Amino acid sequence: MRIVVDDLSGPRIAEFLADHLEQMKATSPPESKHALDLDELRKPDVTFWSVRSGEAVVGCGAIKRLDGERGDHGDHGELKSMRTSPDRARGGIASGLLEHILAEARRMGLSRLSLETGSDEFFLPARKLYEKFGFSYCAPFADYRPDPNSVFMTRTL
């Protein structure tokens, strides 16, 4: 397994992310779906990693910088697009990737990392993972608003 910065140009990662967006559409109402599409993930304020096993994409995750948001000084980032291939779930991929992303966030000079995830049972494994890595529940951040389908978490780095 290797974690690489991905330029999002290959067909494998495009298919993996399309599956992610379809899964989010199936589990969240449209007004509560906050997953980014390929164009949004290619913006300069996003760093995207894919997890590869051989040539297969088995996971992904990203950091979106929240420069100048609510008075910070560009040191706040948002964890985005965390996904593990369903057939590889509970195999340590998400933990390894999250550990890598936290280290990279520190290297990038971020002092806080926040995230939005779903509030229903489908997202419970994700919430447990984030709790394990020191994220705590918080109020909405950036442009998010209170939403019964979303929970917000944050941690200092």
Asked whether residue 147 is domain-assigned, the answer is no
Which helix (H) or strand (E) segment is 11 a member of? helix 11-27
Q: How large is the average pLDDT for residues 98-121?
A: 96
Asked whether residue 138 is domain-assigned, the answer is no
Output the furthest CA–CA distance in the chain (Å, rounded).
43
The pTM is what? 0.89
- In whole angstroms, what is the distance from residue 130 CA to residue 117 CA? 10
**Which of the four pLDDT bands, split at 50, 70 and 90, describes residue 118?**
very high
Query: Where in the sequence is the domain holding 76, given as residue range(s)?
Result: 2-114
Task: Tally the domains of the chain.
Answer: 1
Asked whether residue 155 is domain-assigned, the answer is no
**CATH code of the domain containing 90:** 3.40.630.30
Asked whether residue 122 is domain-assigned, the answer is no
Asked whether residue 47 is domain-assigned, the answer is yes
Total residues found in the chain within this entry: 157
- In whole angstroms, what is the distance from residue 29 CA to residue 50 CA? 26
Pairing of strands 46-53, 150-156: unpaired
Q: What are the tens digits of pLDDT across the range 130-150? A: 999 999 999 999 999 999 999
